[in-house]
Structure 1
Amino acid sequence: MGFLDRRVQIKTPEQIAVMRRAGLVVGETLEVLRAAVRPGITTGELDAIAEDSIRSKGGVPSFKGYGVPPFPASICASVNDQVVHGIPGERVLAEGDVISIDCGAIVDGWHGDAAITVAVGAIPAEVQHLLDVCEESMWRGIAAARIGGRVTDISHAVETYVRSQGSFGILEDYTGHGIGTEMHMSPDVPNYGKPGRGPKLVRGIALAVEPMIALGDQDTYVEDDDWTVSMSDGKWAAHFENTFALTEHGAWVTTALDGGEAKLAELGVPFGGH
Structure 2
Amino acid sequence: MIELKSSAEIERMRTTGRFVAQILTEVGELAQVGVNLLELEQHVRGRIRDRGAQSCYWDYAPSFGNGPFRNVICLSVNDAVLHGLPHDYALRDGDVLTMDFAVGIDGWVADSARTVIVGTPAAEDLRLVHATEEALEAGIAAARPGNRMGDVSAAIEAVATGHGYPVNTEFGGHGLGRTMHEDPHVSNKGRAGRGLKLRAGMTLALEPWFARTTDQIVLDPDGWTIRSADGSRTAHSEHTIAITEAGPQVLTERLG
1:152 Cα deviation from its structure 2 partner? 1.6
- 1:181 paired residue number: 178
Q: Residues 75-86 of structure 1 correspond to what in structure 2 (within 5 A)?
A: 75-86=73-84
The CA deviation at 1:195 is: 1.2
Of 102, 107, 118, the residue aligned with 1:109 is 107
Contact 2:76 2:82 in 1 (8 A): yes
Contact 2:81 2:234 in 1 (8 A): yes
The corresponding residue for 2:72 is 74
Q: Is the contact made by 2:160 and 2:166 (CA closer than 8 Å) also made in structure 1? A: no
Selected match of 1:97 from 95, 98, 103: 95
Whether the 8 Å contact between 2:85 and 2:225 is mirrored in structure 1 is yes
Secondary structure at the aligned position of 1:238 is classed as strand
Q: Report how far residue 55 of structure 1 moved.
A: 3.0
Matches within 5 A, 1:183-222: 183-222=180-219
Provide the C-alpha distance between the structure 2 equivalents of 1:181 and 1:173, rounded to a whole number of angstroms.
24
Aligned equivalent of 1:62, options 50, 53, 56: 56
* CA shift digits 1:69-111 (9 cap, x unpaired): 1111010000000011000011111001011000001011111
CA distance in 2, matches of 1:55, 1:252: 28
The Cα shift of 1:47 comes to 1.0
- Aligned-residue offset at 1:198: 2.2
Tell me: higher relative CO, structure 1 or 2? Use CA pairs within 8 A at least 6 residues apart. 2
Q: C-alpha separation between the residues in 1 aligned to 2:3 and 2:136?
A: 22
The answer to whether 1:45 aligns with 2:39 is yes
What SS does the corresponding residue of 2:99 show, helix, strand or coil?
strand
Question: What residue number does 1:248 align with?
Answer: 245
Give the TM-score taking structure 1 as reference length: 0.89
1:20 is matched with 14
**What are structure 2's unaligned runs of at least 5 residues?**
none
CA contact (8 A) 1:29 1:54 kept: no
Other structure's SS at 1:230 match: strand
**Distance in 2 separating the partners of 1:85 and 1:233:** 18
Instruction: State the one-letter code of the partner of 2:204.
Output: L
Provide the residue aligned with 1:172 in structure 2: 169
Q: Is the partner of 2:75 in helix, strand or coil?
A: strand
**Cα RMSD over matched residues?**
1.3
Instruction: Give the equivalent residue in structure 2 for 1:32.
Output: 26
- 1:148 aligned partner: 146
CA–CA distance in structure 2, aligned partners of residues 200 and 54 of structure 1: 36
Measured against aligned partners, the alpha-carbon deviations of 1:100-153 in whole angstroms (never above 9, x if no partner) come to 000001011111000000100112111110001111111110011111111121
Q: Matches of 1:257 and 1:93 in 2, distance apart? A: 23
Equivalents in 2 of 1:202, 1:43: separation in Å?
A: 40
| Offset from partner CA, 1:5-55 (integer Å, 9 cap, x none) | xx1111111111111111111001101111101011111111111122233
CA contact (8 A) 2:97 2:115 kept: yes
Question: Aligned residues: percent identity?
Answer: 37
Instruction: Give me the whole-angstrom Cα distance separating, in 2, the residues matched to 1:140 and 1:54.
Output: 31
- Give the length in aligned residue pairs: 252
Q: Distance in 2 between matches of 1:120 and 1:139?
A: 23
Distance, in Å, in 2 between the alignment partners of 1:34 and 1:70 is 26
Tell me which of 5, 10, 31 is aligned to 2:4.
10
Q: Which residue of 2 aligns with 1:121?
A: 119
Return the alpha-carbon distance in structure 2 between the equivalents of residues 156 and 232 of structure 1: 24
